[in-house]
Amino acid sequence: MLTTVACLVQPGFAPFEFGLACEAFGLDRTDDGIRNFDFRIVTPDPGAVPSNLSFSINVDADLSFADEADLVIVTPIPREAWKNVDSRVLDVIRRAVDRGAWVLTVCSGSFAVAASGVLSGRRATTHWRYAETMASMYPDIEVDPNVLYVQSDRIITSAGTAAGLDACLHLLRLELGAEAANTIARRMVVPPQRDGGQAQFIASPLPVSTSLSLTPVTEWMLENLRLDLSVDQLAGKAHMSPRTFARRFKADYGTTPAAWLARQRILHAQRLLEQTDLGLDAIAYECGFGSAAVLRQNFSRVLGTTPTAYRSRFACAPELAGSPGMAS
C-alpha cells in the first residue's frame, strides 16, 4: 500500500512540475474520504534549493526519508545536470527500485533515473524535445516520444509538464482505485481526458462544456449509458444536425461523442466493480456493453486488465462502499 511519498528536488528544479507532485500527493483530502500520504520534500543538501526561476525554496529534509518511502518522485533537472547527476540521488533511485518502491519522474527527471541505470532494457519517455537526446545518451533504453507516460514495472516516466499529472493520476488509480483518482482529478479541475495511447486512459472527471447547450445532453448520456446511443439521437436531443453536434462536441470535449461515451461506460464499470457485487452480465447491461464478453474486451483494451482482476484488487468492503479512498 502506498503511504509514504518522497518528492526529490535538486538545484535548478522546475516549479510547475514540482507543484504537480505536491498537488497530487501532498494535499489533505480526508474531507473527500481519501486518506492522506506522508508526503515530504527531500534534497541532497538541505537548505535553500534554487529553482530555474528567480526564487528558491527551503528544504529541511535530506535524502534519508527517500530510502523509506513507498514512492520516490524525481522532479525535472536542468540540462547541464543530465550528464552529471548527483551520485547520492542515483543511489537513492537504485535502492528504491531494488526494494520494490515506486519511482515516478516528471519531464526531464527521467534523465536522473536513466543515469542510475535502472531503465536499461526498459521502455521510457520524457519531454518530446529531449527524447532524441535521451535515446542518444542511453541507447539501451527504448525511448517513446509519443506518449504521455510509460509504466515499466514500478517505474513511471512521464512526458513534459502537465503529462506529469497524467502519470500521477495513473498511479493514484492503481493504488486507490478509479473512483478516488476521479475525485482527486475533480478537485484539481483538470482538463478533459487526454488520449495518450491505448493503456494511458485516466479516470478524469466529466469536463465542463463551454457550450451550455451540450450540458443537458451529456448529463442525459450519463443517466442512460445502458442505451444504444447514436449521434443522430444525441444531435436530436441537442436540437442540432448530426454534423454540427459532432463538431461542437469535439470542440468542447476534445474527443468524439462515441469515444467520450465509451470512456464513461468504462468509468461506470470501474465504479460498479469497486462498489457493488453485481455480476459481469449485470454490469455489462448497466454500462451499455450488452454482454460480459464485450465488457471484458473493452475493459482489457483500455485498462490492460480483466474486470475480475480489477474487482479483486479494488473492491471496497461492504461497509466502506462509497468511500473511494478506502479501496484495498
* 8 Å CB contact between 13 and 75: yes
**CB-based contacts of 178, cutoff 8 Å, min separation 6:** 203, 267, 270, 271, 274, 314
Give every residue of the chain whose pLDDT is below 50, as ranges. 191-210, 317-328
On the question of a common fold for 4-188 and 215-326, the answer reads no
Cell of 232: 443522430
- The Cα 310–Cα 306 span in angstroms is 6
Dist. CA 68–CA 64, nearest whole Å: 7
The C-alpha atoms of residue 218 and residue 208 are separated, in whole angstroms, by: 10
pLDDT digits (tens, 9 = 90+) for 14-53: 999 999 999 999 999 999 999 999 999 999 999 999 999 9
Query: To 10 degrees, the CA torsion angle through 320, 323, 325, 328?
Result: 30
The angle formed by the CA atoms of residues 26, 30 and 31, to the nearest 5 degrees, is 125
Q: In the prediction, which pLDDT does 325 show?
A: 34
CATH class of 215-326: mainly alpha
Beta carbons of 131 and 145 less than 8 angstroms apart: yes
**CA-only gyration radius of the chain, Å:** 21
Instruction: Check residue 213 and give its pLDDT.
Output: 67
pLDDT in tens, 212-257: 568 889 889 999 999 999 999 999 999 999 999 999 988 887 788 9
Q: Which residues pair with 231 in a beta bridge?
A: none
The residue with cell 480483466 is: 306
pLDDT on residue 56: 98
Q: Which pLDDT value is given to residue 250?
A: 85
The CATH superfamily of 4-188 is Class I glutamine amidotransferase (GATase) domain (3.40.50.880)
Rounded Cα gap, residues 195 and 260, in angstroms:
11
* In the chain, where the domains are located: 4-188, 215-326
